[in-house]
């Protein structure tokens, strides 16, 4: 049995968990602090180091720190290569080295979406499968291709940016990456709301988020329902394109958008069926089973097996 401190550093909060890893993995204790990302990368790193050293000091059985972090990560160096505007100054942080110095423990760092996919693939819904394409559809859209318990990181740590695939349904929507028509710009939780906002007429009420849009769709608003159906169909087609290229044994979808109900799921499966080549058309499409623990458990899996 190995006991590790796992950290999940996101734009809103920094989650931590004590993970007992043996034949099974279990999060035995957990907590979080606000990221306060706008205070800048240096400030965030200092508070993460403080958190890690105090939790490790009060848990003497902890023998290492497994980290899942927002931003593009160099998993070999444990450093944050770059980050988006939601975490200003986070890019360039030598996080692994800083945490090793603060705690005196071994540290491994990987990107949070990669960690999420690795967790689901090896310890969650993907356990029965040798290879998994994991797609997280929440505020943004990200993913990971995992084969034999290893994440495909790519040459620059960028692999798995599923949200940045173009689709013709919304060619004028601007993506978080600055390009136009990427699926994240109209299929993610924030994207679908923005898409609805760009299309709505005088009779369509303004909404302030995915949940409000869902209520509108369920209440019979035709435009809201069509945004859910068309964005899910596009995501299904994009998923099929990826499956055609990578041939995973299973696809795992997770994140807030997967709780969107039948309109969304039916359209997603329809889009997938329309674009999947015959040999991969019956690839199982599963729902993630680990919830918020997926990045913590994936980070631990990476720490122990990388």
Query: Scanning residues 161 to 180, which ones bind Zn ion (CB under 5 A)?
Result: 164, 175, 177, 179
Q: Which two tokens stand for residue 9?
A: 């550093």
CA 224 to chain centre: 25
Q: Alpha-carbon torsion 173, 177, 178, 180, what sign?
A: negative
166 secondary structure, DSSP code: B
Nearer to Zn ion, 18 or 141 (CB): 141
Minimum Å gap between C-beta 73 and Zn ion is 19
Rounded CA gap, 146 and 306, in Å? 12
Minimum Å gap between C-beta 85 and Zn ion is 14
Nearer to Zn ion, 89 or 181 (CB): 181
Minimum Å gap between C-beta 196 and Zn ion is 19
Minimum Å gap between C-beta 176 and Zn ion is 6
Can you give 26-68 as a three-state secondary structure string?
EEEEEEEEECCHHHCHHHHHHHHHHHHHHHHHHCCCEEEEEEE
Nearer to Zn ion, 184 or 293 (CB): 184
Minimum Å gap between C-beta 163 and Zn ion is 6
Q: Are 21 and 47 in contact (CB under 8 A)?
A: no
Rounded CA gap, 287 and 151, in Å? 19
Minimum Å gap between C-beta 177 and Zn ion is 3
- Alpha-carbon radius of gyration of the chain: 20
Nearer to Zn ion, 57 or 177 (CB): 177
Minimum Å gap between C-beta 100 and Zn ion is 34
Nearer to Zn ion, 114 or 182 (CB): 182
Query: Scanning residues 236 to 255, which ones bind Zn ion (CB under 5 A)?
Result: none
Rounded CA gap, 33 and 14, in Å? 5
Q: Alpha-carbon torsion 162, 94, 13, 147, what sign?
A: positive
Give the total of residues touching Zn ion (CB under 5 A). 5
Residue 101, classed as helix, strand or coil, is helix
Nearer to Zn ion, 30 or 164 (CB): 164
Query: Scanning residues 179 to 238, which ones bind Zn ion (CB under 5 A)?
Result: 179, 182
Three-point CA angle 159, 161, 166, nearest 5°? 125
Nearer to Zn ion, 22 or 178 (CB): 178
Residue keyed to tokens 């084969």: 147
Site string for Zn ion, 114-153 (x = CB under 5 A): ----------------------------------------
- Binding residues for Zn ion (CB under 5 A): 164, 175, 177, 179, 182
């Amino acid at each position: 049995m190995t006991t590790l401190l796992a950290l999940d550093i996101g734009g809103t909060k920094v989650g931590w968990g004590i993970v007992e890893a043996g034949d099974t993995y279990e999060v035995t204790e957990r907590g979080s602090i606000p990221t306060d990302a706008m205070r800048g990368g240096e400030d965030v790193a200092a508070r993460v180091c403080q958190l890690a050293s105090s939790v490790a000091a009060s848990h003497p059985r902890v023998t290492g720190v497994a980290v899942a972090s927002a931003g593009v990560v160099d998993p070999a160096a444990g450093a944050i290569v770059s980050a988006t505007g939601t975490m200003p100054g986070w890019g360039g942080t030598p996080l692994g080295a800083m945490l090793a110095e603060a705690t005196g423990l071994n540290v491994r760092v990987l990107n949070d979406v990669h960690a999420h996919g690795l967790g689901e693939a090896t310890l969650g819904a993907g356990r029965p499968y040798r290879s998994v394409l994991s797609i997280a559809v929440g505020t943004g859209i990200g993913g990971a291709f995992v084969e034999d318990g290893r994440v495909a990181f790519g040459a620059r740590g960028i692999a798995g940016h599923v949200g940045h695939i173009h689709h013709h349904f919304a060619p004028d929507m601007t993506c978080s990456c600055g390009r136009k028509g990427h699926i994240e710009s109209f299929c993610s939780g924030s994207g679908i709301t923005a898409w609805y906002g760009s299309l709505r007429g005088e009779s369509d009420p303004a909404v302030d988020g995915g949940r409000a849009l869902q209520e509108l769709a369920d209440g019979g608003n035709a435009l809201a329902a069509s945004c859910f159906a068309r964005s899910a169909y596009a995501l299904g087609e994009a998923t099929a394109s990826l499956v055609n290229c990578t041939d995973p044994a299973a696809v795992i979808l997770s994140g807030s958008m997967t709780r969107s109900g039948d309109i969304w799921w039916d359209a997603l499966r329809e889009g997938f069926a329309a674009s999947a080549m015959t040999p991969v058309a019956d690839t199982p499409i599963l729902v993630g089973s680990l919830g918020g623990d997926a990045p913590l458990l994936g980070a631990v899996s990476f720490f122990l097996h990388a």
